[in-house]
Amino acid sequence: IKFDLARCEGYRNFLNKLWNAARFTLMNVGEARLPEPAADELDPLSRWILSRLNRTIGEVDQALADYRFDLATRALYEFVWNEFCDWYLELSKPALYEEAEAADPATARATRHTLAHVLETTLRLLHPFVPFLTEEIWQRVRAPAGLDGDSISLMPWPEAGPTDPGAEADAEWLKAVISAIRSARTELNLAPGKAMPLLIQGGSDGDHDRLQRFGEMVRKLARLEAIEHVGPDHDGEACATALAGDMRLLIPLAGLVDVAEELTRLNKQLEREKKGLEIVEKKLANDRFVSNAPAEVVDKERKRLADHQATIADLERQIERLKGL
DSSP state of 39: G
Instruction: List, by residue range, all CATH 1.10.287 domains of the chain.
Output: 258-325
Q: Output the CATH code of domain 169-253.
A: 3.30.2320
> Quick check: 301 and 280 in contact, CB under 8 A?
yes
Instruction: Kindly tell me the burial class for residue 312, based on how many C-beta atoms sit within 10 Å of its own C-beta (0-12, 13-18, 19 or more).
Output: middle
What is the pTM assigned to this prediction?
A: 0.77
Provide the H-helix boundaries in the chain. 5-29, 44-65, 69-78, 89-96, 98-103, 105-126, 131-141, 165-187, 205-221, 259-285, 287-292, 295-323
CATH 1.10.730.10 in the chain, residue ranges = 5-163
Backbone angles phi, psi at 116, to 5 degrees: -65, -45
pLDDT per residue rounded down to tens, the chain (325 residues): 677 888 889 889 999 999 999 999 999 998 888 888 888 889 899 999 999 999 999 999 999 999 999 999 999 999 999 999 999 999 898 888 766 667 788 888 999 999 999 999 999 999 999 999 999 999 999 999 988 889 999 999 999 999 999 999 999 999 999 999 998 888 777 777 888 899 998 889 999 999 999 998 899 888 898 899 888 777 666 777 888 988 989 888 777 777 788 889 889 999 999 999 999 999 999 999 999 999 999 999 999 999 999 899 988 887 876 776 5
Q: What is the layout of strands, in order, in the sheet containing 196-202? A: 224-230, 196-202, 247-252, 239-244
Q: Is 15 helix (H, G, I), strand (E, B) or coil?
A: helix
Separation in Å, CA 199 to CA 98, 192, 229, 232, 295 = 28, 18, 6, 11, 38
CATH class of 258-325: mainly alpha
Domain 5-163 listed as CATH 1.10.730.10: yes
Q: Pairing state of beta strands 239-244 and 224-230?
A: unpaired
CB 202 within 8 A of CB 94: no
Cα separation, 184 vs 244, in Å, equals: 11
Write out the residue limits of the CATH 3.30.2320 domain(s) in the chain. Answer: 169-253
